[in-house]
Amino acid sequence: MAEYHPNPQYRHARRLPIGRNHPQPWEHVVSISGGKDSTALYLLAIERGMPFTAVFADTGHEHPATYEYVDRLADLAGGPPILRVKADFTEAMARKRAFILGKWPAAGVPMERVERAAALMVPTGIPFLDLVMVKGRFPGAKSRFCTDELKIVPMWYGVQKPILAAGRTLVSWMGVRGEESLARRDLSRWQRMNPAPYSLRKGERDQAQGWRAYAYRPIHAWKRDDVFAMHDRHGIAPNPLYAQGADRVGCWPCIFAKKDELRLIGRIDPAVIERVEEWETIAGDVSKRGEATFFCVTDDPLYEHGTKVERGQHGIRSKMQWAMTAHGGRQYDLMARFEAGASCSEIGACE
């Protein structure tokens, strides 16, 4: 295949694996997370020299450094602006409030708790927290609704669906590298896909089935060093969280945070623990069970099956204490469970 260099400054740029005589116009959409891989992807898209849309899904639960990094990236790199999309749970929260007022009293929940939960059920402007309130729980390995609802859905409605509904072909660029995990290794660089989020109603997913959309993973074969080399070539420093010891960026912390990440947060940003602790209290108040913990208790090696879940014992504060100790209980690897899941691994929405 002939090499294609729309921008002669970058001789390594390669033609996209798409047909020349395709009847519909292509629209390239690059997903940005603020992490090293999606930044490299953005820089690669600039090198390719064709028009593209860059989009960042704001969960409301990122480190301030990540927001600042995403805000400045386009100017620093000389690329297109990075659109910010955000999930809105206003309607879902109104439905949940009506459900609480209508059903909880009949289920025997004391009126004091019913009224407190209903009063809390108003949008906070923090998508992560609003979603947790709607669900009455935090996401976990077996119910990872966060990626879909906080990232994929807003990207779908904000950017992807309008492109497809207008009869154009979507090329969704994903910053996924095969060496990151077994699940990612087996993904192909280029594949036809149904981009409609899994959480949509069947009718909407069926409609999307007929639209032309492709997943494009141009850095799939790249090594970690290639990613940083791309930053260097453009004179762009990676997200400063890496220099502070972070292995990944994204939700801060992620529900799959490992012990090392919790230690890092305890060292460089302990205030975030208070915020998450407050969220646990709110989530507990709007949960019929009366308790909610940021990390799934059944993944907790210190949790004995069948015992009562309590924030004081299983909440983020106790998890931080466990992480900060050298002998804080059995090791467990949430990331292994993370990789066993679906959407995050495939699309690289969570780095």
Report in angstroms how near the CB of residue 208 gets to ligand SF4 at its nearest. 21
Q: By CB under 6 A, tell whether 70 contacts ligand SF4.
A: no
92, 146, 215, 241: which one binds ligand SF4 (CB under 6 A): 146
Report the alpha-carbon distance of residue 160 to residue 174 in Å, rounded.
Answer: 13
Pair 100, 114: CB distance under 8 Å: yes
Q: Is the dihedral of CA 280, 296, 258, 224 positive or negative?
A: negative
Q: By CB under 6 A, tell whether 255 contacts ligand SF4.
A: yes
Q: By CB under 6 A, tell whether 318 contacts ligand SF4.
A: no
> With b meaning 16 or more CB within 10 Å and e meaning fewer, what string describes 277-316?
eebbebbbbbbeeebbbbbbbebbeebeeeeebebeebbb
Residues 159-198 that bind ligand SF4 (CB under 6 A): none
| Residue among 335, 199, 167 nearest 261 (CA) | 335
Residue (150 or 283) nearer to ligand SF4, CB: 150
256, 279, 294, 295: which one binds ligand SF4 (CB under 6 A): 256
Q: By CB under 6 A, tell whether 147 contacts ligand SF4.
A: yes
Q: How many residues sit in the footprint of ligand SF4 (CB under 6 A)? A: 14
> With b meaning 16 or more CB within 10 Å and e meaning fewer, what string describes 138-160?
bbbbeebbbbbbbbbbbbbebbb
Pair 157, 327: CB distance under 8 Å: no
Q: Which tokens in the block code for residue 147? A: 């990626």
Three-class secondary structure of residue 145 per DSSP? helix
Report in angstroms how near the CB of residue 346 gets to ligand SF4 at its nearest. 13
Pair 151, 349: CB distance under 8 Å: yes
Mark the segment that binds ligand SF4 (CB under 6 A) among 11-19, 87-95, 147-155, 264-272: 147-155
Q: By CB under 6 A, tell whether 344 contacts ligand SF4.
A: yes
Pair 35, 349: CB distance under 8 Å: no
Report in angstroms how near the CB of residue 167 gets to ligand SF4 at its nearest. 31
Q: Side-chain half-sphere of 292: how many Cα atoms within 13 Å?
A: 25
Residue (144 or 161) nearer to ligand SF4, CB: 144
Site track 80-119 with ligand SF4 (rule: CB under 6 A), x = hit: ----------------------------------------
45, 150, 155, 297: which one binds ligand SF4 (CB under 6 A): 150
Mark the segment that binds ligand SF4 (CB under 6 A) among 9-17, 39-47, 198-206, 248-256: 248-256
Three-class secondary structure of residue 268 per DSSP? helix
Q: By CB under 6 A, tell whether 251 contacts ligand SF4.
A: yes
Catalog residues that contact ligand SF4 under the rule CB under 6 A: 59, 139, 144, 146-147, 150-151, 250-251, 254-256, 344, 350
